Chains A and B, each alone.
Chain A
C-alpha cells in the first residue's frame, strides 16, 4: 500500500496511551480489546451534564447503543466521566475524529478508547469516591465540585480565618 509521504509521526487515532490498571488480562489482551473496541471513555464532563446531552452530541458521529454515566463510588452521583458505546467501531472512530476536543456544556471534553464497559467500571477510583484526577488537582473547577479533594481536606484542617 503506497502512502502519501510527508506525514509526520504522531499518535495513532486507533489506540490509547492509557492502560487500565484494573484490566483482567495481560497487555496484549488489553491492546487487542482496544483496537477492536467500539466503546469510548469521555472525560472532563461537568458533574451536572445529563445523559441526554451526551446522546445528543455523540449521536452526531453515529448511532449510540448506550451511555453509562460515571458515578462517585460513595455518593452514587455523576462524577464527571462516562462511557459511550456505539454499534460499530467506525462510528466510534468518527467521534474520536470530530467530537474529541470540542465542547459539551461549555467544557472541552476528551474522548479515548475503552476496553468495553463491565459492571463496576462506572465508579470513580479516587480515595474520596470520585475520579483520581479530582483527588489531586489544584485548580478551582465550578463544574467539578470546586477544589480538588486533597486541597479541600487541607482547607478543613487549616481553615483560613477571615479578618
Chain B
C-alpha cells in the first residue's frame, strides 16, 4: 500500500540520518579525546596557551558533550598521573566558566576515588587523592573540605580499632604523598587545621611497631645511608618541606599563570568520606627506601644531588618510577624517556635513575618487574649515554661489592644474577683483580664477598662455557674457577671393584648401556636391573625393583647416556618413564633418585635444575621429596649455594601454580553452573565441579603440607647448630647461620600471601616458645609485617 511504502521510505531516511549523526558524534568525541590527551605534550606553543585554547574549545562543547568530556578527564586522573597538574589546571579553567561543570566533575572524581578504594585499587586511589588535592590550588575544591577528607583518612589510622598497621599506613600515605601539592595553599587558608592534621599523623607514625624492618631492608646496617621505612622517610621529607614554607622547585604548576581567572571561580565541597577497611583486599607490604648514592658520589661539576630528606629527591624518584612503569613493556622507549626527563642535565639524574632501577631490582619481596627487564633497560641506557651511564654502573658495582658484608642474601642473589648477565653482554670485561680480597685466607665459603664472586662465576659459566670462563679470568683467580661442568659417572669401567659375579655392579651398568644402545625395550631393561644385588639392611619390598642400588645404577646410567644435551636427557626420561615411575614409588626412593642425579651432575647446575624440574613435572618425584632432599645431609655442603635455592623456590612455585590452576578451573565451571538454571543444572557439569573441588582440596592440603615440612626442616637444621663461640673460632658457623636465617626470612616474605592461611598452625605447632630465639624472631618479624 502506498502509505506503508512511503512511511518505510522515510524510516530508511531516518535510519541513515541517525547513522550519519552517530558517526558525526563519534568523530567529534574522538577529536575531543585526542585534543585532551595531547594538551600536555611538547608543542610549538607554550603549555599555558595550549591550555587556554583547549579550555575555550571545550567551553563551547560543554553543553553537548559534557558526559564524554567528564569521562575523558576522569580517565586522565588515573591513567596519566605524570601530567596531573595539566589536567587540574584544565578542570580549573572549565570550572571558572561553568560552576555546574565543576560540581559534576568533583562529584565524579570523588565517586571514582570511592570505587578505587572499594575495589582495592590503591595506586589508582592515590592518584585520585592527589588530583583532588591539587584542585584546591585551582579554586575548584574548598580547603576546608580537603582538610576534612585528610582528617577522615588519618582517623582510619588513629581511631578505628580493628584497623591494622598495614591498612592505616595506606591511608596516611595517601595524605602525606598529596601534601607537596596542597601544602602551601592549606598553610595559608587553614593553618591551624593543617598543623592539627600533621600532629595527628606524627603521633600515629611515632607509635608504630617497626619490628618488621629486618624483613624489608636490603642492608642490615644504616651505614653509610640510613634505610628508612618508606613512610618514616616521607614524613621527614614533608616536615622539612613545611620548614621551608612548603616551597619546592620541581612541580610544574600551570595554574599559576591563570591566577586572576581562577581566583574568581566558586569552589565546591568534597562529599564526606568514611573510608572503611576491607579484610579481603591485598594491602601493599611496607618497604624501605633504597639509598645507594649521596652527593659525595656524584661528580662535583654538577649541581648537588638532593639530600635524603629533601622533597625533591622523593618527587624525582616518583617521576622516574612513573616513567619506568609507563614504558615497562618497551625497554628502548623507556631508556629514551628516562634520558629525556626535563631535569636530566640540570641534576645528577643519571645517578638517581640507576639508584631507582637497583632499588626496584633488589626490592626484598620481589623485583617490581622481571629482572631481565632491568638488565636489558640498563643496557639500553648504556647505549643512550655511552660516556656516563657505564661509568655510573661500574661505580655502582664496586660500591655494592664493598657493602656486601651487610647485604641480605636475597639481594646478593639478585645482584650476582644481574651482574653475570650484564657481563655477558660486554665480553665479561671487568677489573677482576680489584676483588682479590674476597680470597683472603680467613674467609669461609659463606662470607658474602667470596660467596658473591663464586656465584657470579657460576652464573657466567651457565651463560657461556668453561673455556670462556678460563679465558676471561686472570691467573690470580685460579682457585675460584668453577669446576668443569662434566658428568661424574660412578660406574665407569675404571671404578670396577669386583670382577664378574653378582656384586659386579659396574658390569650390570655396562649391560644396561648395551641393552639401551641396542634399542632394548622396557622389559629387557628391567631384566638387567633385577640382577642388582639387594642391599643388606634395606627392607625387602618383595619382587619390586625398589632398592637403592638399582635406583642409582639406572638413574646414573640413563642420564649419563643422555649427557650430550638436555634434550637427550629429556628423551631418555620420556622413553623410560615407566621404569622411573616404578623405581620411585616411595618418598625414600625418590630422594635416592635425586641424590643419584646430584652425584652425576653436581658440577653442572643448569642440568641439575632442569632434570629435577622435569622429574617433578613428569610426576615421577613429588615436591615434598625435593624439599626433603634439599634439606638432607648429603646436600649440606651445597646448602647455601644459589642453585639450591633456585630449585627450592621453583618447587614451591610449581606447587602454588598447580593449586592456582585448579582454582581457576573450578571457578570457570562454577560460573558455568551459575549461568544455567538452578533447578536442572546438567548433572555432568555438577559432577565436574565436585571432582574439581575434591582435587583442589587435595592440592591445597599438599601445599600446606609442603610449606609446613619446609619450615620444620628449617627449624631442625638451624636448631642443630651450636651457637657457642668455643665451637666456632673462625666464625664459619656464624656466617652459615646468618645465611640460612636470611633464607628463612626470604621464604616468609616471598610466599607471605599463601602462608597467611597457615599462621595459626605455624604458631601452635612449629614456632612455639621453646624454639631458639633467633628463629622465633623471624616468625615474629613475619607476623609484624602483615599486622
Partner-B contacts on A (CB < 8 A): 2, 4-6, 48, 50-53, 55-57, 60-61, 66-69, 94, 97-99, 101-106
Contacts and interface: CB of A to CB of B under 8 A. Distances in A.
Interface string B35-76: 001100100000000000000000000000000000010010
Interface string B444-472: 00000000000000000011110000000
Contacts of B75: 2
B728 interface: no
> Would you list the 9 A-B pairs with minimal beta carbon distance, nearest first?
A60-B372, A56-B462, A5-B37, A98-B376, A98-B372, A103-B425, A52-B606, A51-B565, A98-B373
A106 B464 CA distance: 9
A99 B38 CA distance: 32
A51 B606 CA distance: 10
Contacts of B314: none
Contacts of A50: 465, 565
A28 to B, nearest CB: 27
Nearest to B424: A103
A98 B376 CA distance: 6
B425 A55 contact: no
B566 A60 contact: no
Interface in B315-363: 329-331
Given A2-B72, A97-B329, A99-B376, A67 B464 contact: no
A10 to B, nearest CB: 9
B104 interface: no
B177 to A, nearest CB: 23
B379 interface: yes
A5 B567 contact: no
Interface in B510-567: 565-567
B38 A5 contact: yes
A67 B607 CA distance: 13
B390 to A, nearest CB: 15
A75 to B, nearest CB: 16
A52 B566 contact: yes
Contacts of B38: 5-6
11 contacts: A2-B37, A2-B75, A4-B79, A48-B465, A51-B567, A53-B465, A60-B372, A68-B567, A97-B376, A98-B375, A99-B376
Contacts of B424: 103-104, 106
A98 B424 CA distance: 15
A5 to B, nearest CB: 4
Contacts of B566: 51-52, 55, 67
A56 B331 contact: no
A103 B34 CA distance: 40
Given A4-B79, A6-B41, A103-B424, A69 B567 contact: yes
Given A98-B375, A99-B372, A102-B425, 20 more contacts: A4-B37, A5-B37, A5-B38, A6-B38, A51-B567, A52-B565, A52-B566, A52-B607, A52-B610, A53-B464, A60-B375, A60-B421, A94-B372, A97-B329, A98-B372, A99-B376, A102-B375, A102-B379, A103-B424, A103-B425
Contacts of A5: 34, 37-38, 41
Nearest to B646: A59
B369 to A, nearest CB: 9
B751 interface: no
Contact of B463 (A53, A67, A68, A101): A53
A61 B80 contact: no
B33 interface: yes
B371 interface: yes
Interface string B364-378: 000000111101100
Nearest to B332: A101
A97 B331 contact: yes
Interface residues of B, number: 35
B570 interface: yes
B495 interface: no
Nearest to A105: B464
Contact of A2 (B33, B370, B375, B464): B33
A55 B567 CA distance: 11
B427 interface: yes
A143 to B, nearest CB: 12
Contacts of B371: 60
A82 B425 CA distance: 20
A98 B425 CA distance: 13
Interface string B556-588: 000000000111001000000000000000000
Contacts of B606: 52, 55-56
Contact of B370 (A55, A98, A104): A98
A68 B37 CA distance: 46
A8 B79 CA distance: 19
B427 A97 contact: no
A30 to B, nearest CB: 25
A94 B105 CA distance: 39
Contact of B79 (A2, A52, A57): A2
A23 to B, nearest CB: 24
Interface string B395-418: 000000000000000000000000
A79 B643 CA distance: 30
A57 B463 contact: yes
Contacts of A2: 33, 37, 72, 75, 79
B425 to A, nearest CB: 5
Interface string B609-632: 010000000000000000000000
A135 to B, nearest CB: 26
Contacts of B427: 106
Contact of A97 (B34, B373, B425): B373
A102 B567 contact: no
A53 B79 CA distance: 40
Given A99-B372, A99-B376, A53 B462 contact: yes
Given A5-B37, A55-B610, A98 B331 contact: yes
Interface string B421-439: 1001101000000000000
B642 to A, nearest CB: 13
Nearest to A57: B463
A4 B372 CA distance: 26
B463 A61 contact: no
Contacts of A56: 462-463, 606
Contacts of A99: 372, 376
A101 B380 CA distance: 10
Nearest to A6: B41
Contacts of B79: 2, 4
Contacts of A51: 565-567
Contacts of A106: 424, 427
A8 to B, nearest CB: 10
A53 B605 CA distance: 12
Nearest to B33: A2
Contacts of B464: 53, 105
A97 B38 CA distance: 27
A94 B373 CA distance: 8
A102 B570 contact: no
Nearest to A51: B565
Contacts of A68: 567
Given A52-B606, A60-B370, A4 B329 contact: no
Contacts of B607: 52
A97 B372 CA distance: 10
A61 B37 contact: no
Contacts of A48: 465
Contacts of B37: 2, 4-6
Contacts of B570: 66
A94 B370 CA distance: 9
Contacts of A67: 566-567
Find the residue from B421, B463, B567 having the highest chain A CB count within 10 A: B463
B685 to A, nearest CB: 26
A101 B330 CA distance: 12
B523 to A, nearest CB: 27
B239 to A, nearest CB: 36
Contacts of B376: 97-99, 101-102
Nearest to B421: A60
